[in-house]
Amino acid sequence: MTGKHLAAILPQKGGPLSVEERSTPEPGPNEVLIEVKAVALNPVDYYQRDHGFPPVPIYPAVIGSDVAGIIAKVGSNVTTAPAPGSRAIALATSFYFNGSPDHGAFQKYVLAQSEAVIALPDALSFEEGAVFPLAVMTALTAWTTVGIPLDTKYTPQDKQAVLIWGAASSVGTFAVQSAKSLGFTTYATASPKHHDYLKKLGAHAVFDYNTSDVVSQIVDAVKQDGVKLHTAHCVVTGGLQPTLDVLRETKGNAAAKVAHSPVLPPDHPTLDNTEITFNFPSMDKAIRDKHMYQCFHGWLQDGLKSGSVVPSPSIQVEDGGLEGLNPALDKLRAGVSGTKIVVPI
């Protein structure tokens, strides 16, 4: 494919994005070129637009990670991607390609590595397909961050529990769905309006993080249920202290582990015998590629086929295409509750 396509370009730190033409790239041997039909938005997108953080190594940049679209062309070594013309879900992030603008999601044609490209089932719309990539990858990476392999299958006799703080977030909903598939008994926090929904996704019990005694409510429930709670995923900013307060009471003499999805401030709270780790995929490409393959071609593809994994949270479609990305990012920055913002392209 040669030619030009439209892209929402980030010309400099501070934005705004502006729509311009770019040359359409050819896929490398292990890459897939995708015609983008919908993108989903993540907090990292407005951090990068507004603050150039996480670092944007090349300007003009093309940011964005979450894509659903149609396979336009596959690279010469690719054996796992759906055929050209097929509908697909892809994680397309320039972050892993030294900021290469050909690999950012917010454009009409994007390159993605084949490990992170799978078929979009017929039953799902492009808008539904776009919600998965970064949130799934982040939720699954949290398990390996705390040393739990993705093929773990606990049984009820194992009595293994996990705390997911911020379960109504985009990442949190996939933390709940994946906790269920690994066999955990899941204790989650969210606003009350999301409790039934999160139970349907697989949470055992959900607690309102805005109540003053939320920590003792969770501790009491864990003790009553007789499960072992020494693992947690703190998904949202502000959740680490109460997460540690729960673990202090539930871990006993066991070592505890916490995956922390927001950037960890240097002066973050700590707890004895508890490892708190920023949740991020390995920077070793071979390890990360294998992990990505397990996330997309394993957990997500298998779960979509069997119906055990569903799009989550609820989708808020914003119009305007590439031109609509600035106001859509402003809406995300203002805060969402149990919704994923998706923009058809």
Out of 72, 171, 246, 309, the residue judged to bind ligand NAP by CB under 6 A:
171
Other CB atoms within 10 Å distance of the CB of residue 6? 16
> Which among 312, 140, 143, 170 is positioned nearest to 232, based on CA atoms?
143
Shortest gap between Cβ of 139 and ligand NAP (angstroms)?
9
- Residue numbers 116-155 binding ligand NAP by CB under 6 A: 134-135, 138
d(CA 60, CA 303): 37
Q: Is 16 helix (H, G, I), strand (E, B) or coil?
A: coil
φ and ψ at 200, to 5 degrees? -65, -35
Name which of 193 and 305 has its Cβ closer to ligand NAP. Answer: 193
d(CA 102, CA 117): 16
Stretch that binds ligand NAP, among 162-170, 219-227, 283-291, 296-304 (CB under 6 A): 162-170
d(CA 181, CA 184): 8
Shortest gap between Cβ of 260 and ligand NAP (angstroms)?
8
Shortest gap between Cβ of 130 and ligand NAP (angstroms)?
13
Shortest gap between Cβ of 82 and ligand NAP (angstroms)?
25
Contact between 252 and 224 (Cβ < 8 Å): no
Name which of 22 and 331 has its Cβ closer to ligand NAP. Answer: 331
Site string for ligand NAP, 248-267 (x = CB under 6 A): -------------xx-----
Shortest gap between Cβ of 166 and ligand NAP (angstroms)?
4
Shortest gap between Cβ of 21 and ligand NAP (angstroms)?
30
Shortest gap between Cβ of 315 and ligand NAP (angstroms)?
12
Contact between 43 and ligand NAP (CB under 6 A)? yes
Contact between 64 and ligand NAP (CB under 6 A)? no
Contact between 194 and ligand NAP (CB under 6 A)? yes
201 Cβ contact partners less than 8 Å away, ≥ 6 residues apart: 173, 176, 177, 180, 310, 312
- Residue numbers 274-303 binding ligand NAP by CB under 6 A: 279-280
* Ordered DSSP codes for 253-309: TS-EEEEE-SPPPTT----TTEEEEE----SSHHHHHHHHHIIIIIIIHHHHHHT--
d(CA 300, CA 123): 15
Contact between 134 and 314 (Cβ < 8 Å): no
The binding site for ligand NAP (CB under 6 A) comprises 42-44, 134-135, 138, 165-166, 168-172, 189-191, 194, 209, 235-239, 261-262, 279-280, 336-338
